[in-house]
Structure 1
Amino acid sequence: MTLLPLRKNALALAAVCLTSLMFGLEISSVPAVLATLESVLHADFREIQWIMNAYTLACTTVLMATGALADRFGRKRVYVASIVTFAVTSLICGLAQSAPVLIVSRFLQGMGGGAMLICQVAVLSHQFQAGRERSNAFGAWGIIFGIGLGFGPIVGGLIVAVANWQWVFLVHTLLSIVALGLAFAGVQESRDPHAQQLDLPGIVTLSAACFGLVYFITQGPDLGLDSRAALGIAAATAVSFVAFVFVEKRSPRPMFDFSVFRIRPFSGAMSGSMGMNFSYWPFMIYLPIYFQGALGYTSVNAGLSLLAYTLPTLVVPPLAERLAFRFGARRVIPLGLFTIGVGFMLMKFGAGGAHPSWLTMLPGCLSCGIGLGLTNTPVTNTATGSVSPNRAGMASGIDMSARLISLAINIAVMGFILVEGVLSHLARALAGWSADLPLRRLAEQVAAGSIAPPGQSSAELAAVDPHGAIVHAALAHGFGLVMLYGMVGAWMLALCSAAAFGPGARRVREQAELGECVRHPSP
């Protein structure tokens, strides 16, 4: 390889790493400032959930479309457009003055972020196709992504402490300018000559199904889970999902090609994608609430405490790539999910002790971070490496869709479990509660970290719970149930991943066949 292609590859890798840093920061820095947003923007618990879920749902709506557009019109062109979109929408988020405006802005930002993320994987898959070179590139991508995730909480906390929350979003506008220069200089244009047309029916039906399910989980308790409105939403969600499967199976060249799930490595990797988002990623949203609400930490101290949860993702990915290269992804990915489950178990024990603190949470947080680091980059590399390079856009689209759909759903599910856990404890402890503020509303405020709820109920609550012991215990009880859910989810998906990869002998045979397919892709 001559010097010029080497230089271009280095610049392309720098662009991909910088945009992955931005995406990682956007995921982990925003949860650290949710308590501030609740206070400054007067956001309630549901609005806090939607500030995060608007982003993830928007990412999901554009992933499959981005994969198709990038394959058809050029991955560099779409990548540059996604960076510009992310920069502009980050500026809009920083200028938002109310929770509803921020939610809408986050949705727009999520569209840019989702497109940017899918293009990162497609660019890496095209420009780094050799085995070790590809592994090193994905390893670097994982490290930088880990830096964004690892330092995001403390970055968010420090920004709030020294400036204001707006700069959590505005900083991405500045970083995007640098990323654009690197992308123009280093990313090679590539496309799939056989790329399919934009599948609007598939995009609409999948988006409707995801939004309907999340809306049902978050709004169902207020509507009444057995009410006509809630049942109607559930029915529409089910119909949308069935319609999505139908249109994708009928399409001659679907964006969501179900046939790739016959490839065992791909199916095993998809179980790993969903496993991370049944446990690690959605809990990232709620862990700052625990540190600030249950333990009484400031935003900066909460951010520092979160480093134990996120920093292992910085150092473990290179080790994960080496382990996957030596022992195979079929062992490393289930091991990573199992380690995440162990972490949730340890956190549950640490939170349930007599004197919980960051120190009692430390072993569980470290275990979760190590498990995520073992799982993340092998999942992405396996998913895109199990298909021919000219289908990298489609494969990475399915991978990221699985991640973000399961993330959006589980942000809502964990929030539901947290509120219901808090509510059940309050119902037992405050059997005579008769204030104007309904008990469910009180539970939502406690789940959001508002230990001292405002309004007329404060005096009555102070009379029955003068030291806040009841609401603190309720919050701890709710978080214990959430941690239990994360543990079970991670272990169940670890089993699914191991089963999908299949026996070792068959895996070796399929790996050899896939290697031939990658070296000699069909036209």
Structure 2
Amino acid sequence: MKNLIALMATCLAALMTGLEVSSVPVILPSIGQDLRADFDSAQWVMNAYTIACTSILMVAGTLADRLGRRRVFTASMILFGAASLGCGMARTISMLIVYRVLQGAGGGAMLICLIAILSNAYRDGAERGRAFAVWGIVFGMGLGIGPLFGGLIASLIGWRWVFLIHGPLTILTIALVFATIRESRAAGAHQLDLAGMLSLSFSVLGLTFFIIEGPQYGFGSSVMLSMAAAALVSATIFVTVEWLSAHPMVDFSVFRIPNFTGAIMGSAGVNFSFWPLLIYLPLYFENGIGYDRATTGLILLAYTLPALLLPPLGEQLALRYSPRNVIPCGLMLIALGCWAITLGLVLAAPGWISLIPGCILTGMGLGLANTPSSNAATYAVEADRAGMASGIETTIRYVALSVNIALMGLILLIGVRSSLAHDSGGLDAAHASATAERLLTDGIGNDKITVAQQLGRQLALKRGFETLTVYAGLAALFFAMSSFIAFRCETSKRTVGQTQ
């Protein structure tokens, strides 16, 4: 019975984590309008969370092993809950971004501790498998219903409650944890790799800052060039530290295993295409077409629901046909779905009917590729290195997400700005950039502009999203091909070995 309640506690935490990832994008337009945030700030609302998660993932596991899993899990829950309340009560966009950093740190540590707690509570292999299956379903449910949840909550009682609701859920989860979960530690926990954590964090932060703020400062400005140089130096330090460490967070030798590299390409691919696009689609549905938040969340179920329903099928297909076939095919399906959304934008008037087929295809691709990628990465290495492999896979997911949130935002802004400058004749670059950012944050509007201007702005948003979905499809195609090639290297190695 205690194990069942412990499972309930971890599932509640997983549900909160899943909801936080997928519900916030739907309310970004509302946040932007209420807190008077520009387009750059809206991107930082998402990236503050993902970068903080990336930073803490690398050390949370070691902290939990040394200090106690229940203790670190409880601390991370308190941080997550308190930061969520701070997000809900933030009065400026800067305050919201700061609280999102704290929320991401708590969420990342919480996610790592969940895995260790479940593994310790369920020692039997069959029971552990069932527990992780339930946990995965609940986490996927949070991801799948997040857009609808965010849209409904924001429409009924305001966007702040999307964050505030985590307060009581946190209290309930902590109560269940203390009632059921015993403290546990690892006998041979390693030293904290602070140098690795800090250098990785600074490199991702520097690259993200360069991409997001580049249009404002100018990519060739001294500020941006300095930031790019700092990111490169930090990345070099990270690689050097991990290469020389006796107990690295990232053992680069695992990338010599083709099956591991192929799986990692799959994990990076879904986080480089599917999830960043989820962040920007609500902007088009609300600001480009004019749907309300609840309708936007409902439409996005076509994008996220297949990702919740299809993982069991993806696992079965991976067992029957091998992950080396299923993962690239899933990524290809994401690419085709993105391009189907492009066709829906190009060939039809703005509306959900023309976009739904592409959303469904993209969600199906994620459902087929996502779970097999994680499992294949873990199974590709020896059992005693599975935890390290899982940590690398999770970290790469968040790095890919952080970088491509920034890249997609830049591509979207350039697409809208180019359309405005081209169709408006004499509109200068600065005016076009300002108008593009205003369109993406505040929508088309209808005050003090002519019908022709309204149509021009709507067309600019549409063309911007056409460019964005083409890019998302190309990104998924690139990782599909990279995964396919990496897996084939394993096949080639086996063939050569058998020949010899």
**TM-score, scaled relative to structure 2:** 0.93
Give unpaired runs (5+ residues) of structure 1.
1-6, 510-523
Identity level (%): 48
Describe the shift of the 1:408–1:60 C-alpha distance in structure 2 as closer, same or farther (beyond 3 A): same
Q: Distance in 2 between matches of 1:188 and 1:260?
A: 33
CA distance 1:480–1:136, shift in 2 (3 Å): farther
CA distance in 2, matches of 1:239, 1:208: 9
- Counterpart of 2:498 in structure 1 is none
Cα distance in structure 2, aligned partners of 1:43 and 1:184: 40
CA offsets 1:351-396 (integer angstroms, 9 cap, x no match):
1123231111111111111111112222222333444555454333
Q: How far off its partner does 1:28 sit?
A: 1.2
Matched, 1:441 2:434: yes
Paired residue total: 495
Q: Does 1:167 align with 2:153?
A: no
For the structure 1 residues 306 and 366, does the alpha-carbon distance in structure 2 shift closer, same or farther, using more than 3 Å as the test? same
Counterparts of residues 272-291 of structure 1 (less than 5 Å): 272-291=266-285
1:390-419 CA distance string (max 9 Å, x none): 545433321211011110110000000000
State the distance in 1 between where 2:480 and 2:311 align.
18
Of 316, 335, 348, the residue aligned with 1:354 is 348
Partner of 2:476: 490
1:44 matches 2:30: no
- The residue type paired with residue 478 of structure 2 is M
Q: Is the 8 A contact 2:11 2:135 kept in 1?
A: yes
Correspondent of 1:96 among 83, 90, 93: 90
The answer to whether the 8 A contact 1:17-1:141 is kept is yes
C-alpha contact (below 8 Å) 2:269/2:331 kept by paired residues:
yes
Q: Equivalents in 2 of 1:51, 1:256: separation in Å?
A: 28
The verdict on how the C-alpha distance between 1:134 and 1:246 changes in structure 2, with shifts beyond 3 A counting, is same
The answer to whether residue 251 in structure 2 is matched with residue 257 in structure 1 is yes
Residue of structure 2 equivalent to 1:475: 461
2:16 aligned with 1:22: yes
Residue 68 (str. 1) matches residue 68 (str. 2): no
Map of 1:4 onto structure 2: none
* Aligned partner letter, 1:470: G
Shift of 1:346: 0.8
State the partner residue of 2:488: 502
Code of the aligned partner of 2:460: A
CA distance in 1, matches of 2:20, 2:233: 33
Counterparts of 1:42 and 1:314, CA distance in 2: 34
Report the Cα distance in structure 2 between the residues aligned to 1:130 and 1:368, rounded to whole angstroms.
Answer: 36
The 2-side partners of 1:261 and 1:132 are apart by: 30
- Residue matched to 1:334: 328
Matched, 1:380 2:374: yes
Cα distance change of structure 1 residues 505 and 431 upon mapping to structure 2, 3 Å threshold = closer
- Extract unaligned runs of 5+ from structure 2: 496-500
State the 4+ residue runs in structure 1 displaced beyond 6 angstroms: 506-509
Question: Which residue pairs with 2:302 in the alignment?
Answer: 308
What pairs with 1:3-22 in structure 2 (closer than 5 Å)?
7-22=1-16
Specify whether residues 500 and 123 from structure 1 end up closer, same or farther in structure 2 by C-alpha distance, changes over 3 A only. Answer: farther
Q: Give CA deviations for 1:101-137 in whole Å, capped at 9, x if unaligned.
A: 0010001100001111222334445556777655544
2-structure distance, mates of 1:326, 1:122 = 29
Shift of 1:221: 1.6
2:27 is aligned to 33
Q: 1:9 to 1:262 in 2, by over 3 A?
A: farther
Q: How does 1:191-206 map to 2 (within 5 A)?
A: 191-206=185-200
Q: Does the 8 Å contact 2:334/2:363 carry over to 1?
A: yes
Give the counterpart of 2:443 among 427, 442, 450.
450
User: How far apart in 2 are the matches of 1:401 and 1:127?
Assistant: 25
Which one-letter code corresponds to 2:487 in the other structure? F
Question: What does residue range 86-485 of structure 1 map to in structure 2 within 5 Å?
Answer: 86-125=80-119, 135-187=129-181, 189-387=183-381, 391-433=385-427, 438-452=431-445, 459=448, 462-463=449-450, 466=452, 468-485=454-471
Tell me the distance in 2 between the aligned counterparts of 1:130 and 1:498: 35
Q: 1-side partners of 2:2 and 2:183: how far apart?
A: 12
CA deviation profile, 1:130-178 (whole Å, cap 9, x unmatched): 7765554443333222211221111111112211221100111111222
* 1:22-66: CA deviation from partner (whole Å, max 9, x where unpaired): 111111111111111111111111111111110111111101011
Cα distance change, pair 92–393 in 1 and its aligned pair in 2 (3 A): farther
Q: Distance in 1 between matches of 2:304 and 2:441?
A: 22
For the Cα contact (< 8 Å) 2:288–2:443, is it kept in 1?
no
Give the superposed CA RMSD.
2.4
User: What is the distance in 2 between the residues matched to 1:485 and 1:136?
Assistant: 38
Distance of 2:312 and 2:10 partners within structure 1: 17
Deviation per residue, 1:5-28 (Å, 9 max, x gap): xx4443343333221211111111
